[in-house]
Amino acid sequence: MAEGLLGRKHGMTQIFTEKGQVVPVTVMQVGPCYVTQIRTNEKEGYSAIQIGFEETRRLNKPERGHLKNLPLLKHLREVRTSQLDKYKVGQKLNAALFEVGERVDVTGISKGKGTAGVVKRHHFRGGPKTHGQSDRLRRPGSSSATTTPGRVLKGTRRAGHMGAERVTVSNLEVIQVDPERDLVTVKGAVPGPKNGLIFIKKARKQPKGKK
């Protein structure tokens, strides 16, 4: 079957287990997604399906042509699969793909923080508060040597744009699945703000002791 689906992050809450333990969880709307294209080894060199999520009216002519006789979908994503015979264009996929107790990976775009200094962005300690320091408390300090190469090397941690990056959180446990409302609840946090676009798929790497 397909390894993942597109969805939206609804937000975080908490639930109580039968033992009375409090578990922080994230609720996500997963699907419904539609199969919009099938890619085969004979034609494209690999096997995958293209899925679409979230209907919209704001598409240009090439996009409308690609989705001819299908709902007009805003987000498209390819998902690798070796079982192409189980799919056909126009097929609807929903949260029933996932089961309670299994592990999933969730990918999203992290919250954008704008331009940030090294203390916030890289957790630098900063300079001393005394001994003549009046305006260098949150500054990075020296970033290069005075001799060869005598410059700031690429990759040096400095102030700059923070957040708004593609982030994947692995091995989250599925706590609840509600196919009727297309909801999947996982233990822990997932990247991005509320209503942010997410891609949830079956975990690639299982934690030790889990199968």
CATH code of 52's domain: 3.30.160.810
Each residue's pLDDT tens digit in the chain (211 positions)? 457 899 999 999 999 988 888 999 999 999 899 999 999 888 888 889 999 998 888 899 999 999 988 889 999 999 888 888 888 998 999 888 899 989 999 999 999 999 999 999 999 988 888 888 778 888 888 888 888 888 888 889 999 999 999 999 999 999 999 989 999 999 999 999 999 999 999 888 876 665 5
Q: Where are the beta strands (DSSP E) in the chain?
A: 4-16, 22-30, 33-39, 48-55, 73-80, 92-93, 103-109, 114-116, 160-162, 166-178, 183-187, 197-202
- What is the tally of structural domains in the chain? 2
Its domain, for residue 88, covers 32-93
End-of-domain residue from the set 93, 108, 141: 93
